[in-house]
A and B are shown apart, each in its own frame.
Chain A
Amino acid sequence: MQMPSPSPEIVAKKSRIVARLEEALGAEAVISDVEETRAYECDALTAYTCPPLCVVLPSTTDEVAAALKICHAEGVPVVPRGSGTSLSGGALPTADSVIIGVARMNDVLEVDYPNRTMRVQTGRTNLSVTGAIEDDGFFYAPDPSSQLACAIAGNIAMNSGGAHCLKYGVTTNNLLGVKLVRMDGTILDIGGAHMDAGQYDWLSVICGSEGQLGIVTEATLRILPKPEGARPVLIGYKSAEVAGACVSDIIRAGVLPVAIEYMDRKVIEVVEKHANAGYPDCEALLIVEVEGSPEEIDDQLGVIKQIARKHDPVEVRDAGDADEAARIWLGRKSAFGAMGQINDYMCLDGTVPVSELPYVLKRTGELSEEFGLAVGNVFHAGDGNMHPLILFDANKPGDLETCEALGAEILKLCVEVGGCLTGEHGVGIEKRDLMGVQFSAADMEAQMRVKDVFDPAWLLNPAKVFPLDASETRRTAKDAA
């Protein structure tokens, strides 16, 4: 993966930049030792690494603004960082960049139950947002699988989803306001505890902008009362096609489950070994979860099971109690970890129209054979957000390249059938060079105009999202300036 070569001028003035940052924020907020900066050399896309020039960990919005002002004045690129759990390289630094991380800003600032909103600092982890309100019967809906570690700042940057978005939406649907610091250090308050924008919907572009428009230090989030209860049902099928057809029929029938999860044989076998969840022996497995009172759950699951049985399932398994429900979820929740234990893998994130699931699964299998690398499928079927896991051996020369080439083919397939490159992980560097598959030059130009408004010098996370040749004039104009 190509990254712009670091500016020798910036690297040469490292000590001055560090000194200015330390003077403004205090030495304890700046990490410049080469060994220590290695902790920040990558995010969860570990195939690519590069230590930054230095790392800044501010404690307040004003400190974020002060650090950005200095970097702006020095012409130094800034890579914003939440918890560094990005799967697409969103927080990958360059050698001439300063990482500004919000990890030390993790307070809950305000909770307003009657209005169903809360305001937090964005270094707070996703799970601990819910943790702060769950005893009072509330939760924050987006639940990416990295929720134990990932920060709200990163959730906003990537517009994170999760398993329950079929009913509750993704981050953009649950974000009402932000405090954003622009590259030039200007602090903007956008939106708030009310439900619509007065003029332009700035939040819509800020959410999912991968840290290219500003650093979000505070967020006003929509919170929801917890449902009375939830219960899954597990359904096994003889083929992926049938499972896909069942998903479409469930959605069409008018019941709206909170989650429909899918796993194929490859993944089932691995998680069986790892977690021993007792899954049936089948080609494809669905976990469908609904919410409500016990009677309401019975009614909804009744409809779902009736649909499922029309498709001749291998097994339909109810959860008689909380333990059985947990066992049904156990395998799904440990899927990524289990796959990681047996193999190196690359997790894709293309999304396709639900109606195209059977075709895309079949075609993915064919591509897997063509490239000679195994692919496991475990994903959110309700919204068509696929997560093909391509297994490869990082120690085998050429395997990573083959894996990336196969990944690119699968993503092109997703776009071809009317889907997109990434449903919730973000473009980062990983899918950057594939943007042209989904977008025309004019489409990307229009997106880059928005960045021009927020960050005309193109210093914030500049080498991400847009193919380097598409963004080159903008990125290099600053060198001339």
Chain B
Amino acid sequence: MLKPATEEDLAEVLAAATEPFAITGGGTRGLPLQGAPLSTQGLSGITLYEPGALTIVAKSGTPLAEIEAALAAENQMLAFEPPDYRSVLDTDGAPTIGGVVATNASGARRVQAGACRDFLLGARFVDGTGEIIKSGGRVMKNVTGYDLARLMCGAHGTLGVLTEVCLKVLPRPETEATLTLSQLPPDRAVAAMSAALTTPYDVTGAFYGPCNANQNPQAHIRIEGPEASVTYRIDKLNDALSEFTSEMSVETADRSKAIWDDIRHLRFLTANALVMRSAISSSRIANALDRRVFATDDYLDWGGGRVWTSVTTDVLKTASDTLEDDRAGDPDEGASMIVGLVREELAFEGGHSTIVKASPRVTASACVFQPERTELARMAVDLRRKFDPKGLFNPGLMR
């Protein structure tokens, strides 16, 4: 595997290259990449960390764990809580900060604090001609030129290989607590989470699942801050949400941490022959779920704005059986069908859905990302051609 040790080395490699690369950080995301493996892990280390300015600069291949340890030592954190996909994808390796940025990996606190893209202040990358490019910087307000750094965030390495990123960090909250509401059907749970998120009490997490009344679903609502403040706000929320259910409990710091740690590591995704991640308005999610034909397991984060959908092999087979031809019984056929159905319902409700895990056959035919409308798709091709004229970067991943 190619692991350039400096930005200049990487630039040289890319300037000379004619064949595609599979660009990875720690390789924990199991994406269907084609080409010769090229990892950013050789570009590693924290370049600058200024706790008093709430900023950290690190080379893209720096392990996320190293960054989080440095931040923790100063009582700070990456507020967007990047999820860890290793347990659900059964991958090993260490997530890198560049991988986090390239995939805009954002977790539960996104609903209040923002996504990775919101905390990205600047980036350096090498484009497909070997040119080294910087955008943004290391200050919190910067409107100098177009925001290419944010464009790189979520582009999955298809526009350039990140070499360095600068992120805004936040103080770690003193403590936390979680309000758990039980026995709510999905529509009522979404209403309760919306009610919580529209109070002034600064809810920093709103998660619910599974969306199946027979499986003891729970809604978790998190409050963080100084001890006295957390106690006060939990009390207020308790009152505000009492109309939704009488089955409400308060999880104090340790238990609360464990709940959100499980969410961050996606440990709730146990039945996972097919896993999808969708974005939708929380006001439309209940409608979308009502249209489900097959028995998917759905979990809602961001107060209903993000949906994790996981499907067992049995359900995939059941889906394929409805084809009533020689495709019946083939889980891949079922998966393709369910991906199509989920995307159709999300498109109808104004959202989109990404495949997190599926067999290679399914991702090859269905595409990891929900296809864009025609004109935006054409612009995406044009944009890629301009940043990567030789077609070097993760070809076929975004299309």
Contact = CB atoms under 8 A, between A and B. Distances in A.
Interface in A237-275: 248-249, 251-256
B142 interface: yes
A361 interface: no
A427 B282 contact: no
B139 A418 contact: yes
Contacts of A248: 52-53
A197 B194 contact: no
Interface in A336-391: 351-355, 380, 383-385
Contacts of A426: 143
B143 A196 contact: no
Contacts of A170: 141, 143
Contacts of A419: 137, 139
A450 B148 contact: yes
A446 B142 CA distance: 17
A208 B198 contact: no
A292 interface: yes
A67 B354 CA distance: 37
Given A195-B306, A200-B380, A449 B283 contact: no
Nearest to B282: A115
Interface residues of A, number: 91
Interface stretch (A13-21, A41-49, A56-64, A158-166): A158-166
Given A115-B194, A446-B148, A194 B305 contact: yes
B154 A200 contact: yes
Nearest to A449: B386
Contact of A424 (B55, B135, B141, B228): B141
A252 B51 contact: yes
B375 A355 contact: no
Contact of A193 (B151, B153, B281): B281
Interface string B277-290: 00111111000000
Given A169-B118, A384-B141, A446-B133, A200 B280 contact: no
B200 A418 contact: no
Contacts of A253: 171
A299 B305 contact: no
Given A165-B140, A195-B110, A205 B194 contact: no
B279 A196 contact: yes
A137 B200 CA distance: 9
Interface string B348-387: 0011101000000000000001101101100110110011
B65 to A, nearest CB: 22
Contact of A446 (B131, B198, B283): B131
B143 A452 contact: no
Given A198-B352, A443-B133, A447-B146, A351 B139 contact: yes
A155 B244 CA distance: 39
B193 to A, nearest CB: 9
A413 to B, nearest CB: 14
Contact of A199 (B75, B111, B369): B369
A444 to B, nearest CB: 7
A380 B197 CA distance: 28
Contacts of B383: 200, 449-450, 453
Contacts of A439: 134, 144-145
Contacts of B228: 295-296, 299
A112 interface: yes
Contacts of B94: none
A425 B155 contact: no
Nearest to A194: B279
B139 A353 contact: yes
Contacts of A200: 151, 154-155, 159, 380, 383, 398
B222 interface: no
Interface in B208-240: 225-226, 228-229, 232
B89 interface: no
A169 B143 contact: no
A199 B283 contact: no
A198 B133 contact: no
Contacts of B85: none
B376 A207 contact: no
B114 A159 contact: no
Q: Which 9 A-B pairs have the closest CB atoms?
A: A204-B150, A198-B352, A423-B141, A254-B171, A193-B281, A114-B194, A248-B52, A383-B140, A194-B279
16 contacts: A117-B281, A165-B141, A195-B111, A198-B279, A207-B147, A225-B197, A248-B53, A251-B54, A351-B139, A418-B138, A427-B144, A439-B145, A445-B131, A449-B386, A451-B146, A454-B379
Interface of A: 112-117, 137-138, 158-159, 161, 165-166, 169-170, 172-173, 186, 188-190, 192-202, 204-205, 207-209, 225-228, 248-249, 251-256, 292-293, 295-296, 299, 351-355, 380, 383-385, 418-427, 431, 435, 438-440, 442-447, 449-454, 465
Given A159-B147, A450-B148, 15 more contacts: A114-B190, A195-B110, A197-B104, A199-B398, A201-B150, A201-B153, A226-B200, A296-B229, A353-B138, A384-B139, A427-B144, A438-B144, A443-B145, A444-B145, A447-B146
